[in-house]
Amino acid sequence: MNQGLPPAAAPVDLNGPGHYLHWGVIQLSVANLVVIGVMVLIFVLALVLRFPKGGDRK
């Protein structure tokens, strides 16, 4: 039995129907659009941010 912290409430209501966006024949859920946006942001950050430079290697 878990007698620790009470379960945290979800930040959004997960019991209702999902919200969808429609562009012609493309139908995309808002949740998937958020995930795609975060993945694109991480990809752009990986391209822009520099790797830490170690000593002078040749």
Sign of the four-CA dihedral 51, 52, 54, 58: positive
Per-residue pLDDT of the chain (58 residues; tens, 9 = 90+): 556 666 676 676 678 888 899 999 999 999 899 999 999 999 999 988 877 776 565 6
Q: Kindly report the backbone phi and psi dihedral angles of residue 28, in degrees, each rounded to the nearest multiple of 5, phi listed first.
A: -135, 135
DSSP one-letter string for 3-26: -SSPPPPPSS-SSSPPPEEEETTE
The pLDDT assigned to 45 comes to 92
* pTM score, whole prediction: 0.62
